[in-house]
Amino acid sequence: MVPVLAPTVAGELVKTTSLIAAPSTQLLQILGVLLLLSTFAITAARLLSHAIWAYMLQSLLLGLIAGVVGYITGSVDLYAVAVLTIVVKCGAIGWILQRITRRLHIQREVRPYINVPSSLLICVLLTVLAFFVSPAVVARGVVPDKPPLAISIALVLMGLFLLASRRHVVMQVVGLLTIENGLFAGAIAIAYGMPLIVEFGILFDILIAVIVMGLLVTLIQRVLVSADTADLRRLRG
């Protein structure tokens, strides 16, 4: 009886897993697209507060992706990572950045190195490049490539572009945080995230770094009446 029943039970398990994974995989695809669009929203934002809100949305989507992957894989650690990501990045860091912006009394970046339409075009090209060069190095399992590694690479590239093309310190901080979100998405795409203690340590380091950068930006603005990196470069020598 056993040889007869075993394939049947295994087949039912595979069928049940597929039924669970199919809608979850579609949900991950939708979240991956929204994650990419949120990064475009950061690039297109003309007001600093809008860029920060877009970053908070990006972090919320990343937390939801971690939660969905945790649901599919049955990983309790990913549930914890999802909650920590939403609380720390979407909540605490977003609140700190909005508070810094209000304290600086600056609503928008006056003179970015590259204007918004050109920046969006460059980000489209970077996204195409990411999908073209992204290797098929993904974890084996029920959710093999969601969110795709290409999206995480695109986030990293666009974060680097924000760092290079924006002059205001707050926008450069948002670009740095976008790079970190891209690396986090890549860790989920490749290996379903990192150990919980590592994720906790990374989130704590990011939170402390944002607090320290906020204090420095406030002091720089108070002393030099500007947080524009182009103005700060003229202080050398």
Structure tokens at 212: 């320290």
**Is residue 43 within 8 Å of residue 36, measured between CB atoms?**
no
The set of residues, in sequence order, having a beta carbon less than 8 Å from that of 194 and lying 6+ positions away, is 187, 202
**pLDDT tens digits, residue range 85-119?**
899 988 899 898 888 888 777 666 667 788 888 99
Instruction: Average the pLDDT over 58-76 and give the result.
Output: 88
Q: Which of 76-85, 155-164, 170-179, 192-201 is least confident?
A: 192-201
User: In 3D, which of 55, 165, 75, 180 has the Cα closest to residue 120?
Assistant: 165
The set of long-range contacts for 112-117, using a CB threshold of 8 Å and a minimum separation of 24, is: 112/165, 112/166, 112/167, 112/171, 113/164, 113/165, 113/166, 113/167, 114/165, 116/43, 116/44, 116/46
């918004």: which residue's tokens? 116
The predicted pLDDT at position 59 comes to: 92
